[in-house]
Structure 1
Amino acid sequence: MRSCMTASTTSTQPARHSSLGLEAYVQVTSPIRRYADLLAHYQLKAYLHGRPLPFTADELNQHIQRCLASGREVGRVVRETERYFVAEYFRQQPRDSLWSGLLLKWINEENRLGVVLLDAIAREMLVKVNAGTTVGSNILLRCASADPGNMFVKLNEVAAGSVVGGGIQSRL
């Protein structure tokens, strides 16, 4: 389902919301949480009270561009922080720990490279899985190595307690 979803957009122009079947849509949450929502609240409140809008379209677009740039940077920092701590978590675990996962899809079926959802950390990771493993299969994994500084984790699929997969060093 996620693969069918499109990224959100922010604009001063009305746009359709296909999933909701609406011709025009505006998202405003708590103005305490997001600066862009605070601007939308100002505009809506002025409109509903019959007052002039506090911002022109050009002024709003300038604010939106700054908000989007800041949001992208925050998102990048959050992703890198999560990657670091996932690798650090695996680095601290005993080497004989086993992790259950679910093969969600293939990235490259010929090379047995797939996306696996790790139950314990609710995170998707790239893993080289054994021949015969099919999408939807539950598999066991062992961490062969973890490097928090480079945000890498190498996982191997295991069977009956021994490593049988080639593993892949995965950038988180």
Structure 2
Amino acid sequence: MEALGKFVQIVASRLMCVGRTTELIGAEQQEAVNKVADQEKSYNMRIAELEKAAKEKDDAVISVVARSKDLEEEVSRLRDQIRLLQAEVKEHDVAKGQLTSHVHELEENGMEMFSYGFDRAVSQIAVLSPKFDSAQLDMTKIVVGGKLVVDGTVEEHDENAPPS
């Protein structure tokens, strides 16, 4: 029986070794499972961060595209406004040219009328006073201090007169 007792002791010790080995293997597997769980948790956090960054980037792109469209519309509107203003400027330039031309015509008419009036006055003086030398008369001169002098005041105040 002693042999049987030793056999039982050997079997029992073997069972304890197998149990201990199983515990160690289970502990190693649990450690591996824990490592995998930690890595999964880390990866899930990283995925969440990347998804958040991607969403922020997408939102920024959408915002920039919308702003770009708004600015393109503004540029288009301003270009249309520029075209309208350029057309108005051209119209005003044409009108200014017409008015300037009309002013020059009126100035010429005024000068002709003044010249005709001066010629009439000179011819009347020649008839009334035949001895008077009417060649000394000049329509561009005025009397200052009993003498005939060139009238520079007209040109000084005339904005259309050429500079002297």
Q: Give the TM-score band, short-chain normalised.
A: under 0.3
Judging by fraction of residues, say which structure has more strand.
1
Normalising by the residue count of structure 2, what TM-score does the alignment of the two structures yield? 0.24
TM-score (norm 1): 0.23
Q: Indicate the structure (1 or 2) with the bigger Cα radius of gyration.
A: 2
